């Protein structure tokens, strides 16, 4: 079966750095997405990785290792507004999006 694993919940301190991991087992791979979802709001696109390596976009970076079936989302200089759920999703060989259950990130002052 196809599976995406990510931690259910993480807690971090304002101003710190946090890394949210995502591992996947899918039939084929055509890219990995990270989305942010604040409570009661729409998921919004954060990043897309299809090649190995680190993609940096401001305070957020996303890393991919296809050989390890592994990605992480790195959030720097955490702000209270970063409290949200972070969803990892992989596109398989049929271009179906397989979703993880999401990681709820709690930021404390």
Partner 1 sequence: ETGVTQTPRHLVMGMTNKKSLKCEQHLGHNAMYWYKQSAKKPLELMFVYNFKEQTENNSVPSRFSPECPNSSHLFLHLHTLQPEDSALYLCASSQAYGEQSGYTFGSGTRLTVV
Read out DSSP for 41-89?
A: S--EEEEEE-SSEEEEETTEEEEEETTTTEEEEEE-S--GGG-EEEEEE
Contact flag: residue 95 with partner 1 (CB under 8 A): yes
Contact flag: residue 96 with partner 1 (CB under 8 A): yes
Contact flag: residue 16 with partner 1 (CB under 8 A): no
User: Which two three-digit tokens encode residue 1?
Assistant: 């079966």
Residue 7: CB minimum distance to partner 1, A: 12
Q: Report the DSSP pairing between strands 53-57 and 3-5.
A: unpaired
Among 48, 60, 70, 92, binds partner 1 (CB under 8 A): 48
Contact flag: residue 45 with partner 1 (CB under 8 A): yes
Contact flag: residue 67 with partner 1 (CB under 8 A): no
Q: Show the CA angle centred on residue 52, arms to residues 51 and 56, nearest 5°.
A: 90
Among 29, 60, 70, 99, binds partner 1 (CB under 8 A): 99
Among 11, 13, 19, 44, binds partner 1 (CB under 8 A): 44
């Amino acid at each position: 079966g196809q599976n995406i694993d990510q931690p259910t919940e993480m807690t971090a301190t304002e101003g710190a750095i946090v890394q949210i991991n995502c591992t996947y087992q899918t039939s084929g791979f055509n890219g990995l997405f990270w989305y942010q979802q604040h409570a009661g709001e729409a998921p919004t696109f954060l990043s897309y990785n299809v090649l190995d390596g680190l993609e940096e976009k401001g305070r957020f970076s996303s890393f991919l290792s296809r050989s390890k079936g592994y990605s992480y989302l790195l959030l720097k200089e955490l702000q209270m507004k970063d409290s949200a759920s972070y969803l990892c999703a992989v596109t398989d060989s049929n271009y179906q999006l397989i979703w993880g259950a999401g990681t709820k990130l709690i930021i404390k002052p």
